[in-house]
Structure 1
Amino acid sequence: MFDKLNLGDLGKVLEEIQEKAKKIQEESEKKVFVAKSGGGLVKVSANGKGEIIDIDIDDSLLEDKESLQILLISAINDVLKMVEEEKKRVAMNLMGGQNPFGQQ
């Protein structure tokens, strides 16, 4: 069954796949995702790792704590969803376009 299997070639292929995956992941982690809520009154930025790197809040919200909280939660959830979608896109790219997550 494995008589004609060249393990040296298999090792090379796996190494190439690993290098490609690492490069794609590094590129993805450098991306910045931005989500806005309240018509742009709150803006949250995250990197490809899912770390929040910036929050911009319009001064008009500083007197309205409840609205600020709602808009901040909304923007954070949106930006984290963007990061997750990017991770799925990268995984699908590595899988040759086949979706390992079921539906899109």
Structure 2
Amino acid sequence: MFENIDFSKMGELLTQVQEKAKAMELELDKKEFSAKSGAGLVKVSANGKGEIIDVNIDDSLLEDKESLQILLIAAINDVLAMVAQNKNSIASDMLGGLGGFKI
């Protein structure tokens, strides 16, 4: 199972992984994603880490709690899906450069 692994290079590989993780974290800090629902009546923004950073709700929804809840959930789910896809893409790109290790 471990016949082709050179364990003498594991420290170097670990250092590379740590450096790439730091680079990924910095890249995620810079990203911002937004999703709208209800033809733009609700807009939710998140940073690359998946933290919600802004919510905009059209005044016309303030009297319709049920619609507001549905549209808010839809926008949050959409923006979090964008963040997850971006994280996976960045991780795949970064880990692809670690020769021999594929995700």
Q: Tell me by how many angstroms 1:45 deviates.
A: 0.5
User: Is residue 25–residue 90 contact of structure 1 (8 Å, CA) maintained in 2?
Assistant: no
- The match for 1:89 is 89
Counterpart residue type for residue 83 of structure 2: V
Q: Tell me by how many angstroms 1:10 deviates.
A: 5.7
Q: Does 1:43 align with 2:43?
A: yes
User: Is residue 44–residue 55 contact of structure 1 (8 Å, CA) maintained in 2?
Assistant: yes
Question: Any gaps of 5 or more consecutive residues in structure 1?
Answer: none
Calculate the aligned-residue CA RMSD, in Å. Answer: 2.5
Equivalent position SS for 2:39: helix
- Please, what TM-score do these two structures have when normalized by structure 2? 0.77
Counterpart residue type for residue 65 of structure 1: K
Question: Stretches of 4+ moved more than 2 A in 1?
Answer: 9-18, 97-100
Counterpart residue type for residue 55 of structure 1: V
Distance in 2 between residues matched to 1:6 and 1:82, nearest whole Å: 37
CA separation of 1:6 and 1:72: change in aligned 2, threshold 3 A:
closer
Question: Any gaps of 5 or more consecutive residues in structure 2?
Answer: 1-5
Equivalent position SS for 2:44: strand
Counterpart residue type for residue 50 of structure 2: G
Q: 16-25 or 78-87, which moves further after superposition?
A: 16-25
Distance in 2 between residues matched to 1:69 and 1:57, nearest whole Å: 11
Distance in 1 between residues matched to 2:7 and 2:73, nearest whole Å: 54
Aligned residues: 96
Distance in 1 between residues matched to 2:46 and 2:32, nearest whole Å: 6
- The match for 1:23 is 23
Counterpart residue type for residue 77 of structure 2: N
- Please, what TM-score do these two structures have when normalized by structure 1? 0.77
Q: Alpha-carbon deviations, 1:24-83, whole Å to 9, x = none? A: 222113311100001110000111111111100001111111111110000000011111
